[in-house]
Amino acid sequence: MYNFMAKDDAEEYVIKVTKEKTTIEDNTDVTAYGIYIKDKDSSAYVNDISTDKLFVEKIAKLCKTYKVSPVHLKDVVEDQLTLNY
């Protein structure tokens, strides 16, 4: 896991930016970042969102600001990818 984490103890809401090594088509190793969200009822994880750490942290901060439910994490990520790439 990467070091960005937002936690609200009162609401048991956690967001983590994850970091993992992956191999792309030409057998080059890269670092990719994902997002994990957990609330009191459920959790969700979207891996390999981007190799741009700041972009993924931006999405995580949006999720924290709007307290995105884990159920909607994938939709938020897809929307941000569409808007930015």
The SS3 call for residue 16 is strand
Distance CA 21, CA 4 (A): 17
> In which band, very low, low, confident or very high, does the pLDDT at 4 lie, cut at 50, 70 and 90?
low
In the chain, where are the structural domains located? 5-84
Cβ burial, residue 68 (10 Å; 0-12/13-18/19+): buried
pLDDT of 13-61, one tens digit each?
A: 899 999 999 888 888 999 999 999 999 999 999 999 999 999 999 999 9
Q: How far apart are CA 12 and CA 25, in angstroms?
A: 39
Please tell me the predicted confidence (pLDDT) of residue 2: 47
For the entire predicted model, the pTM comes to 0.84
Q: What is the pLDDT of residue 11?
A: 66
